[in-house]
Amino acid sequence: MKKSLLLLVLAGILAGCATTGKYETVLNTWIGSGEVELVKAWGPPHSVYEAGGSKFLTYSTRRNMQVPGVMPSYTTTTIGNVPHTTYNPGFPGHDLHLSCDTSFEISQGRVVNWRWQGNDCNQN
């Protein structure tokens, strides 16, 4: 339980002001833009797929972050004259894998839709 809470707090700190809502706002600005404009700004896509008269350009990011561990600790409180000690076992550090895949649907040379997937799709 404590480990989960710590990871949630850490994720919030790491995210800072970055939100998926802000990312979606940025993505919405591309609706109606030309494919060439998109590629000039985002660079070449990591993959392209065509189906049903539409083209799908996908951009992908991957990164790892080291989450530091927490050392074991003891907390002692005194209630009346009786000390009570609580042990926190801590936990080891680990790698956090972050990714974001953003796809733009292109129809008749224009961006008509987008979608994102992952745990690192955010905008500051």
Q: How far is CA 72 from CA 1, 23, 77, 95, 110, in A?
A: 15, 38, 17, 19, 56
pTM here?
0.68
User: For residue range 69-118, what is the model confidence (pLDDT) as tens digits?
Assistant: 899 999 999 999 999 999 998 888 889 999 999 999 999 999 999 999 99
Q: Which tens digits make up the pLDDT trace of 20-29? A: 889 999 999 9
> What mean pLDDT value characterizes the chain?
87
Tell which residue, 99, 100, 123, 104, has the closest CA to residue 115. 104
Question: What is the pLDDT at residue 99?
Answer: 96
- In this structure, the number of other CB atoms found within 10 A of the CB of residue 33 comes to 15
Q: State the pLDDT confidence band at 61, using cuts at 50, 70 and 90.
A: very high
